[in-house]
Amino acid sequence: MTLQDNLADYLRYAQVQRGLSENTIASYRQDLQTFLDFLVKEKQNTWEVEAVEIDLFLGKLRDEGKATSSISRMLSSLRKFYQWLLRQDIIKSDPLVKIDSPKQEKRLPLALSEAEVDKLLEQPNIKKASGIRDRAILETLYATGMRVSELINLQMGDLHQDIKLIKVLGKGSKERLVPISNVALSWIDEYDKQVRQKQILKVGSFTDTIFLNQRGGKLSRQAVWQLIKKYCQTAGITKNVTPHTLRHTFATHLLENGADLRVVQELLGHSDISTTQIYTNLTQKHIMEVYRNTHPRA
């Protein structure tokens, strides 16, 4: 079997046996194909390589300006792949056991100011059907801190308007109940009555999915990313904003206004408090700014 055949077999195994998502499989495919291309260029016709050759490959990625997080992801993909190769008796030893993972850079998540959020939320043209939908999307993301993958999978049955909660299906199919603001609920209601229901009737195919594209199907993550980019541009926000930025902003604003870290952990759906603790660096910075601006002898 060729190296390409081995790679194809592994990806099938990862999809069928391990039940990994399409996005994870796509990441593995990209990482491992990059490594395979490197081996081909180095005239290697076997996966049986020395640790020094892995180091050479990682050094090449660093020279190309790849971020530490990207190199760490590549290493993770290679480790899992080489463990599989070893179990399949395709290789006799695993060179990755001699490779240390790079130290992660402590990068603070980007967050918008309250003024920037206000400006962003005002951008959709609510005289248009798409504008009403987009305003409801932005309000929902900022009100709940949910991930985009969670937003696009929301169903009307997940809304509990009477108690102002929304059921969110997070990573690992874990459900959580998240409070949602009156403002966000009113925009979802406006969108449902003025746009969504008419769209469903026009398409002639019922769906319980809340946010729909122009064809009446489920929105893609890319579509949400694009609309946020568009509205940031029209709002004059020059920060590199992604859908995840609104999640970071949600958490940051809660903590800056006195929310408990454990509560924010629950709202975000983090299984480990250490994942949430990165936001304390942001709020510590905010505390220092308030101190310097308000204390007479600061």
Residues annotated catalytic, as ranges? 147, 171, 244, 247, 270, 279
Tell me the sheet residues that pair with 166: 159, 178
Are 228 and 137 within 8 A, CB to CB?
no
Q: How far is CA 46 from CA 12, 87, 90, 224, in A?
A: 20, 16, 9, 42
Say which amino acid occupies 87.
R
Helix, strand, coil abundance in the chain, percent, nearest 5: 60, 5, 30
Say which amino acid occupies 283.
T
Please, what is the end-to-end C-alpha distance for the chain in angstroms?
A: 70
Longest dimension (CA), the chain: 75
Cα 50 → chain centroid: 34
Sheet arrangement for strand 159-160: 159-160, 165-169, 175-179
With CA atoms as reference, report the closest residue to 133 among 147, 114, 154: 154
d(CA 15, CA 25): 7
d(CA 107, CA 89): 40
Q: How far is CA 27 from CA 14, 24, 240, in A?
A: 12, 5, 22
